[in-house]
């Protein structure tokens, strides 16, 4: 702990300290339930409860140091438990980040950091950056909605947030990655995380922007607040990669950014551009124009939005100093995240695609992407999301109305909601209720239903956000796997056909 107190970033956060000078702290946590002997417990005022309420249980679990911002309460506790150290700070969230950084001796600074923000495309860009830079020979990890991946594959870690981890979890991860010889980390920086200070104190080498559309307004209230939260990433970055085709916030970044600025675009003059996009069976071919020089290229990705995402990744590689010819050579190795326009090839006779689409904008892009595909009928599975605001659910129905021959409606992450209510919310968005509509409240069964509706030559499009191997049900993360249900169906189907 003495060491922690010597770090300037920790000292800055402290108002005063009472109690004994403690022995070494073994862990730093914001959750009393994770406190063990000699932990440092930091009280965070959350959306639901105030962590200061849990000082008692933190002490019972062995906390030696308690950090909080409620001065009087902390003094009361000091009089009750003078054997513990109480650290009063100005801002607990900032303190959490600074203490965690210091706990790992600020060694995360040995990692090159790229932060990716935007309403759509963060996970895909992060995966493209990871796969490209690994192919270029630099051990790179990614952190985001698709979990944590390093240069060897998926890393088995649990985080408490869907996309951007809480600061102390992030520093633990950085330490683990650094120990495993990773040198570069590409991570999603969500507006919520930026607003909540989870990324406080980090300096990014590169900040990447994709686009800004209305989302998370239940959290940010206005588009201005939402944009300002995302802009914070650029205030803590040395270099920026900006999508010129985005009307939502590219101008705001360009007008305020102080460092080196790089741009990409499909529609206008930029440092890195794509033109003449053509969908092929195995990907997209296009002209890549870099500093005015034209290269005819092909990449195993689909959809104009993914070409834009690839441009973001290519530009990031260039900012890191790689030559464009070297980067292009790695295109065959570009890999997206699971469920982001993921084509399943082992389903004979039918085409099966997974896509994370769950907003009108994403569905618009998705329908545009499948236009060049040839198929007889389109079987579409859509999902209302239980753990997100109910007003978003009818928007999904509006976005897909009239676009498919069969529509299966289901529920992703029901949370505390009744699946019937979620599905009713979704279908209330249809102006004319589709003739071939099927409501199946459990996602696995819904997938099997969609498969059962498909005949030879049909295209099955499975959308929604349950591509990460769990379903949130009544506050618990239950194991869930789309592929398991596909295999179950295929097994069953083979039995039926051969009987
Ligand atoms: C709304 C939100 O952001 N919630 C996050 C927030 O929780 P919270 O503010 O509700 O915390 P709380 O439950 O009020 O608890 C306050 C404090 O008391 C502590 N506590 C609580 C109970 C107890 O017994 N003991 C104890 O110490 C908690 O650990 C916490 O430190 O802080 C927690 C700790 O970091 C997060 O796990 C939690 O993420 C929840 C699970 C979540 O779903 N967050 C979403 C909205 C989110 O952040 N999403 C974005 C992605 C958005 C996108 O898709 O673009 C993300 O970056 O992941
Ligand atoms: N650049 C883009 N522009 C518009 N839509 C996109 C773009 N990239 C991806 N999408 C759509 O959004 C879906 C989600 O993509 P991705 O997971 O990469 O975004 P994200 O920003 O990480 O989303 P989330 O924050 O919800 O996890 C994709 O399946 C696709 O339908």
CATH classification at residue 478: 3.90.190.20
Tokens of 195: 């607003």
Alpha carbon of 72 to those of 88, 137, 157, 437, 439: distances in Å?
A: 10, 54, 37, 59, 55
**Confidence at residue 496, expressed as pLDDT on a 0 to 100 scale:** 54
DSSP for 208-224 reads: EE----S--HHHHSSHH
Are residues 292 and 154 part of one domain?
Answer: yes
Q: How many residues does the chain have?
A: 499
d(CA 163, CA 188): 7
Please, is 479 exposed, middle or buried when counting C-beta atoms within 10 Å of its C-beta (0-12, 13-18, 19+)?
A: exposed
Are residues 25 and 118 part of one domain?
Answer: no
Are residues 282 and 150 part of one domain?
Answer: yes
Q: What is the pLDDT of residues 195-214, one digit of tens each?
A: 999 999 999 999 999 999 87
How many independent structural domains does the chain possess?
Answer: 3
Nearest CA, atom 46, ligand 1: 192
* Ligand 1 binding pocket, CB closer than 6 Å: 30-33, 44, 46-49, 51, 54, 160-164, 166, 190, 192-193, 196
Q: What is the pLDDT of residues 59-108, one digit of tens each?
A: 999 999 999 999 999 999 999 999 999 999 999 999 999 999 999 988 99
Are residues 415 and 306 part of one domain?
Answer: no
Tokens of 4: 């922690």
CATH of the domain at 15: 3.40.1390.10
* pLDDT interval class at 257 (50, 70, 90): very high
**Residue showing tokens 């009544």:** 474
CATH of the domain at 213: 3.40.1190.10
d(CA 463, CA 363): 9
Q: How far is the CA of 123 from the centre of ligand 2 (A)?
A: 7
Enclosing domain of residue 356: 342-498
Do β-strands 140-144 and 112-117 pair in parallel, antiparallel, or remain unpaired? unpaired
Query: How many other C-beta atoms lie within 10 A of the C-beta of residue 367?
Result: 17
pLDDT surpassing 70 at residue 23 = no
d(CA 103, CA 38): 13
3-state secondary structure of 452: helix
The number of the ligand nearest the C-alpha atom of 303 reads 2
Are residues 352 and 328 part of one domain?
Answer: no
How far, rounded to the nearest angstrom, does the alpha carbon of residue 455 sit from its chain's CA centroid? Answer: 35
Are residues 255 and 360 part of one domain?
Answer: no
Annotated ligand binding at 198? The verdict is yes
Q: How far is the CA of 41 from the centre of ligand 1 (A)?
A: 16
Within 119-176, strands assigned E span 140-144, 147-150, 153-155
The secondary structure of residue 50, as a DSSP letter, is B
CB 334 within 8 A of CB 301: yes
The pTM for the full model equals 0.90
Are residues 346 and 474 part of one domain?
Answer: yes
**Confidence at residue 85, expressed as pLDDT on a 0 to 100 scale:** 94
Nearest CA, atom 3, ligand 1: 192
Are residues 377 and 461 part of one domain?
Answer: yes
CB 151 within 8 A of CB 158: no
Are residues 247 and 113 part of one domain?
Answer: yes
Q: What is the pLDDT of residues 407-466, one digit of tens each?
A: 999 999 999 999 999 999 999 999 999 999 999 999 999 999 999 999 999 999 999 998
Annotated ligand binding at 196? The verdict is yes
Are residues 98 and 112 part of one domain?
Answer: no
Are residues 307 and 216 part of one domain?
Answer: yes
pLDDT surpassing 70 at residue 498 = no
Final residue of a domain: which of 333, 368, 384? 333
Final residue of a domain: which of 280, 314, 333? 333
pLDDT surpassing 70 at residue 2 = no
Characterise 14 by phi-psi region: left (phi > 0), alpha (psi -120 to 50), beta (else).
beta
Are residues 52 and 142 part of one domain?
Answer: no
Section 398-403 average pLDDT: 96
The number of the ligand nearest the C-alpha atom of 49 reads 1
Final residue of a domain: which of 52, 71, 103? 103
Angle between helices 393-400 and 419-427 (to 10 degrees): 40
**Confidence at residue 499, expressed as pLDDT on a 0 to 100 scale:** 46
d(CA 399, CA 349): 28
For the CA of 356, the nearest atom of ligand 2: 29
Sorted by sequence, the CB contacts under 8 Å of residue 92 that are 6+ apart come out as 42, 43, 44, 45, 51, 67, 68, 69
Query: What are residue 41's DSSP bridge partners?
Result: 29, 66
Alpha carbon of 497 to those of 158, 211, 493: distances in Å?
A: 41, 47, 6
Mutate to test the pocket of ligand 1, among 91, 92, 162, 221 (most ligand atoms within 8 A of CB): 162
Section 309-325 average pLDDT: 98
Q: How far is the CA of 122 from the centre of ligand 2 (A)?
A: 6
Counting Cα atoms < 13 Å in the Cβ hemisphere of 429 gives 22
């Amino acid at each position: 702990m003495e060491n922690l107190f010597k770090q300037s970033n920790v000292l800055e956060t402290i108002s005063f300290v009472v109690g004994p000078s403690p022995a070494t702290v073994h862990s730093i946590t914001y959750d009393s339930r994770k406190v063990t002997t000699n932990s440092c417990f930091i009280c965070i005022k959350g959306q639901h409860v105030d962590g200061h309420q849990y000082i008692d249980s933190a002490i019972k679990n062995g906390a030696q140091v308690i950090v909080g911002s409620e001065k009087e309460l902390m003094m009361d506790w000091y009089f009750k438990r003078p054997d513990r150290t109480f650290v009063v700070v100005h801002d607990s969230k900032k303190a959490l980040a600074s203490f965690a950084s210091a706990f790992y001796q600020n060694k995360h600074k040995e990692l090159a950091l790229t932060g990716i923000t935007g309403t759509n495309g963060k996970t895909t860009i992060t995966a493209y950056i990871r796969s490209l830079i690994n192919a270029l020979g630099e051990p790179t990890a990614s952190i985001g909605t698709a979990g944590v991946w390093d240069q060897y594959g998926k890393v088995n870690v649990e985080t408490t947030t869907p996309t951007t981890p809480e600061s102390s979890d992030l520093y633990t991860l950085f330490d683990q990655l650094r120990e495993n010889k990773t040198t570069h980390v590409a991570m999603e920086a969500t507006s919520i995380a930026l607003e909540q200070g989870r990324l406080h104190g980090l300096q990014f080498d590169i900040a990447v922007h994709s686009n800004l559309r209305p989302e998370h307004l239940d959290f940010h209230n206005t588009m201005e607040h939402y944009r300002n939260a995302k802009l914070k990433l650029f205030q803590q970055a040395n270099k920026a990669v900006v999508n010129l085709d985005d009307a939502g916030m590219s101008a705001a970044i360009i007008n305020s950014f102080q460092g080196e600025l790089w741009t990409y675009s499909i529609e206008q003059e930029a440092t890195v551009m794509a033109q003449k996009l053509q969908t092929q069976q195995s990907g997209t071919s296009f002209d890549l124009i870099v500093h005015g020089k034209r290269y005819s290229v092909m990449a195993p990705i689909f959809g104009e939005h993914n070409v834009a995402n690839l441009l973001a990744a290519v530009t990031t590689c260039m900012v890191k100093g790689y030559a464009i010819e070297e980067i292009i050579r790695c295109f065959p190795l570009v890999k997206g995240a699971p469920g982001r326009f993921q084509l399943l090839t082992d389903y004979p006779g039918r085409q099966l695609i997974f896509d994370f689409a769950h907003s009108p904008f994403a569905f618009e892009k998705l329908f545009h992407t499948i236009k060049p595909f040839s198929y007889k009928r389109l079987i579409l599975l859509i999902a209302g999301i239980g753990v997100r605001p109910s007003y978003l659910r009818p928007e999904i129905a509006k976005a897909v109305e009239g676009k498919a021959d069969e529509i299966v409606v289901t529920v992703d992450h029901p949370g505390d909601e009744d699946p019937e209510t979620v599905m009713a919310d979704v279908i209330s968005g249809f102006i004319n209720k589709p003739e071939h509509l099927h409501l199946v409240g459990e996602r696995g069964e819904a997938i099997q239903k969609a498969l059962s509706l498909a005949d030879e030559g049909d295209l099955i499009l499975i959308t929604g956000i349950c591509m990460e191997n769990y379903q949130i049900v009544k506050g618990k993360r239950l194991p869930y796997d789309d592929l398991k249900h596909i295999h179950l169906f295929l097994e069953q189907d083979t039995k039926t056909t051969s009987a």
